[in-house]
Structure 1
């Protein structure tokens, strides 16, 4: 059985490297309307869709109620791939599967048929009804006024993609990540207009890339480099279990105390070096001299590893142990203080607090979030679950302080010599043997913001 499995894997890899992957650029009305309704939600910040709707004749209680009902639809479920190293594979998300089905079907009847089994039928029916009601509204307010410009853009972008051989960058990523792809599965690029805007959005999942494109966009190298950035996340995600285990072990066995946080940063750093670095430079003729990414940690690390990434691409080599060891060394030598910077280590966090409001407070203080788990119980069980992850571990103690602090001390061997005063506020930070930081906050009267600000 194992022999058959490996034979199939190598067969897929062979065909993926040897055959062209088709990039299909299209407009999906169904997806555009779905995103339009999302953006009208009270939970979304101000945006061009909300502005156009609020100024229109459709801004009535009837349609507001439909938007509210859409918000309440239970369409967000997920499951993890637990056999993979923690955080190395994106959990399945039902919302993304629904968007995929909206892109790949031509009408709502087909969408409902394709989506049966993902959610209860009643939920799928309600979702389709809301999309149906808002389709003419979206067309009147957004699509028709921008139709001529957008359709010309769509044609120009398709031509640009062909002239620049965008599929070749996909192949480059396959080799570099030592990943695989079935060439019979096309990569679907769904675009929709974004009027009165100076920027575009980007998201990729499964075999899809979606983007709202500003209607005055004429230079496409930024859009396509970002598109490939997001696509490289998919290729990283599609690495085999064997490849992912090898990568995780190479990081784990590296003696550097920085290796864990270097690992946490790797996915975004690689996608940025490849997409915003290599692809952009290839399309533009020279590298971008400004920021490649709006996080300093990702931006600086991507630029630091870029020469090595280019060397591997030129040699058509997949990332290997030598690449990982060099990557960790570059992180350690150039950014030795990062493992103590909260803006960095709080991007990957596991929070235990009996006060649920603390989760929102931390989200406001540290909005950058790549991985997050949270529990409202501090117990042997939840601490044990936390210890199994490579994330930054935050425990906020605000009641039964003495007993809870004793429990925490008993669960971490690194705290054997730790001494604390339970009736006095304090913050304590220690690098654990798994190379993740443990942050303990003993709260009495001060705000969480004040206590975090006092971390050294």
Structure 2
């Protein structure tokens, strides 16, 4: 349970700068326990929390039954902001709101009161019971053995934040993205210990950042550059409807064949350029000489755009049409082949297949994905829904092949003159007028993964 140190610490963690956003750094026991139970799920890969639990006295039928009950709880619902340009604003996730409420309440009664209505009451009651039952387990196995180190880390993180005016980086992002933030809404970062690990986790949502930090963390600049990277996703998400519409139009009006896939990549690229590039350089005095992101498309494009990002920040300018056009030009001049690389374009995908097993196969083939949609029927309606997105479009035809192909030809002018034998297997890729790729797979006997290898 919370001790006197942590209660006192909450009075020291608000970093307020005149007329700027308040940053609060804290430990949330409720959140830590919730994420601890998540990590014990059989659906999660092996991890330090699962290891400690499995070798403990708590690895009993009582607690395994609670984990199973937790696994069955449906707590993740979502809704879109349909008036915004497609993909420009993150879907609202109830799971994010649950974590937000766990961070920002002091006990489970308050949590239930604030969360009532987001998920069914019975689900909320069962979830709260699981957290209550596992609190002592978590403290005995994870928190208490690491308490001394973690509390010292938290003190160091708070001091580092104040010494380096972290709030200023938030303000820099607001100006660059031409975004806004109500200063009455504090930004709350919640940390919790991650023993026996060489890295840390990071996630941001709503007005929160959460991170599990290794107990021997020795580089606050790495932690804070990643923290700001994730925070910049929120800043980007909070751009006004008018700003997002303008940006969407800049990309659509640009004549480059690369503009669509450059757009799909931009959110992650800019968060990397600002967080792992600009913030890191400010904190360390020099740029990070290593990779800024563990995915080549994001890493290379972030480094390519970084000088322009710095120029805009130094001149206190917001991203504008000139920035977008230059960004697209740099993408096209330096990486023109990326719009044909499956590993890149399959990151953003809309799959239509009447065999739901195909989706699992595609997810295995292309594990990295930013945005995905799926439809299990090839109809006029499903094709139109897919057509109206900027995603890579994949249609897998495995029955009534000739009729299904006719539907596609009617909807995509690019296929009008295309003559194919639907009695034979093939896999074809076509760049559409919206600058997204359309992949059509005509399947007879071969597996989907083998047919993807035929795509040039």
Q: TM-score, normalised by structure 1?
A: 0.96
Partner of 1:259: 259
* Residue in 2 that maps onto 1:425: 425
Alignment partners' CA distance in 2, 1:74 and 1:190: 24
Deviation string 1:13-52 (CA, Å, 9 cap, x unpaired) is xxx9972211111000000000000000011010000000
Indicate yes or no: 2:59 matched with 1:59: yes
Are 2:68 and 1:68 aligned? yes
Once the two structures are TM-superposed, the CA of residue 190 in structure 1 deviates from its matched residue by 0.2
Aligned equivalent of 1:376: 376
Contact 2:273/2:303 (<8 A) preserved: yes
Q: Which SS does the other structure have where 2:446 is aligned? A: coil
Query: What is the Cα deviation at residue 68 of structure 1?
Result: 1.0
Any unmatched runs of 5+ in structure 2?
1-15
CA RMSD of aligned residues (A): 1.0
1:236 pairs with 2:229: no
**CA offsets per residue over residues 224-253 of structure 1, 9 Å max, x none?**
000000000000000000000000000000
Q: 1 CA distance for matches of 2:277 and 2:18?
A: 25
3-state SS of 1:337 partner: helix
Q: How does 1:401-440 map to 2 (within 5 A)?
A: 401-440=401-440
Structure 2 vs 1, CA of residues 56 and 412 (structure 1 numbering), >3 Å: closer, same or farther?
same
- Give the match for residue 205 of structure 1: 205
Match of 1:249 in 2: 249
Q: CA deviation at 1:270?
A: 0.3
Q: Distance in 1 between matches of 2:365 and 2:423?
A: 26
Secondary structure in 1 aligned to 2:405? Answer: helix
Is 2:442 the counterpart of 1:446? Answer: no
C-alpha distance in 2 between matches for 1:340 and 1:418:
20
What CA distance in whole angstroms lies between the structure 1 residues aligned with 2:130 and 2:82? 35
1:29 pairs with 2:68: no
2:20 is matched with 20
Q: Which residue of 2 aligns with 1:44?
A: 44
1:9 — aligned with what? none
1:326-383 per-position Cα deviation (integer Å, ceiling 9, x unaligned): 0000000000000000000000000000000111111111111111000100000000
Shift of 1:161: 0.5
- Partners of 1:332 and 1:63 lie apart in 2 by 55
Deviations along 1:205-241, whole A, 9 cap, x unmatched? Answer: 0100000000000210001000000000000000000
Q: Contact 1:17–1:171 at 8 Å: present in 2 too?
A: no
- The answer on whether the counterparts of 1:350 and 1:393 sit within 8 Å (CA) in structure 2 is yes
Structure-2-length-normalised TM-score? 0.96
- The secondary structure found in structure 1 opposite 2:85 is coil
Partner of 2:161: 161
Distance 1:162 1:178 in 2: 25
Residues paired across the two proteins, number? 441
2:316 equivalent in structure 1:
316
The equivalent residue for 1:127 is 127
Q: How does 1:207-222 map to 2 (within 5 A)?
A: 207-222=207-222
**Deviation at 1:411?**
1.5
The C-alpha deviation readout for 1:266-287, integer Å capped at 9, x for no partner, is 0000000000000001111111
Match of 1:5 in 2: none
Distance 1:350 1:17 in 2: 45
**Alignment-derived partner of residue 12 in structure 1:** none
Partner secondary structure for residue 395 of structure 1: strand
Q: Alpha-carbon deviation of 1:445?
A: 1.1
**Separation (CA, whole Å) in 1 of partners of 2:221 and 2:433:** 44
Distance in 2 (CA, whole Å) between partners of 1:313 and 1:288 is 18
Indicate the residue corresponding to 1:290 in structure 2: 290
> Contact 1:189/1:210 (CA < 8 Å) preserved in 2?
yes
Instruction: Say which SS state the counterpart of residue 336 (structure 2) adopts.
Output: coil
Alignment correspondent of 1:390: 390
Q: How does 1:173-192 map to 2 (within 5 A)?
A: 173-192=173-192
Map Cα deviations across residues 120-139 of structure 1 (whole Å, 9 max, x no partner). 11111110000000000000
SS at match of 2:131: helix
